[in-house]
Structure 1
């Protein structure tokens, strides 16, 4: 009985919503590059042998392009005690955006930029700092305050030609 109580306390202390980790199999990642507007950027999202998600490719400014994105439709409901989105990854020294769609019919993303290094790291993105944006323009609505997520995305678009490669070990809400 004592162990059951300790185990329950441990679970409560480590309460997190896992969006992705090595024990989940990501299905339905969708690539949306600038080719939807005539650009020629390329990207892929694959699972490597270490069961990490690898988002890689090449961003090109040709034909008025300049971004690559991978997105995952997902239905997540969580309590308002979750205040951060945390990404464990190995970066490439480039800037990215993490994007959240709170509900399916939403016509904008909640966005927060993050910088990576060339090392394994943990990126902490406070949920209240995700701001509303549509096609690179601010949307006049309050910052993210919902307890639902219908889609997530990772985007690179640094206004330059560049190759990119990040390996994602885990994405959680805490």
Structure 2
């Protein structure tokens, strides 16, 4: 009973597993940007800590040379997800649509994806893991939706088939 009261007082979720909680002192080791230039495209993106201590993913998507996407990835040692049912993102976007991706194994050449829309305000986006479907290079695969026991990587991607500047602030990423 004491722990339940303590979690309530501290506003902590005992069923939450924090994947990354940004601050001004965050170490971005493990984070990396992947743009369409890996396939000849011309999109540009950067990832850094902003003045407020949030992760900041920003840049410009280009359609030149068959381009059209920018992404930021966070790779970590395999993490068992236990009873977690949702990927939870606390973000402030620019009103654009983004994609969340999770990778279950380093040997997989596909990820599980789900789209989310941003509003220009701080939002808590909850994505049921079971709704994330397998995809490779923008094509849905004929495999089951996410039902894995662990994760090795998460990513955020923008690729709306148009030229656009983008900016996504990230406060926290967790599993619940």
Q: TM-score, normalised by structure 1?
A: 0.91
Offset at residue 22 of structure 1 (A): 3.0
| C-alpha deviation, 1:97, in angstroms | 0.5
Q: Deviations over 1:23-66 (max 9, x none)?
A: 55332211110111111100011011221100000000011110
1:58-69 to 2 correspondence within 5 Å? Answer: 58-69=60-71
* Cα contact 2:22–2:170 (8 A) shared by 1: no
Residues 89-128 of structure 1 aligned to structure 2 (within 5 Å): 89-128=91-130
The equivalent residue for 1:6 is: 2
Rounded to whole Å, the distance in 1 between the matches of 2:173 and 2:13 is 18
Q: What is the CA distance between 1:147 and its match in structure 2?
A: 2.0
Give TM-score, length-normalised by structure 2: 0.90
Unpaired runs of 5+ residues, structure 1, are none
Give a deviation string over 1:107-138, Cα, whole Å, max 9, x none.
Answer: 11100010001111111100100000000111
Partner of 1:153: 155
Supply the distance in 1 between the matched residues of 2:147 and 2:28 (Cα, whole angstroms). Answer: 26
Q: Is the 8 A contact 1:97 1:113 kept in 2?
A: yes
Pairs aligned (count): 169
CA distance in 2 between counterparts of 1:114 and 1:32 reads 19
Match of 1:168 in 2: 170
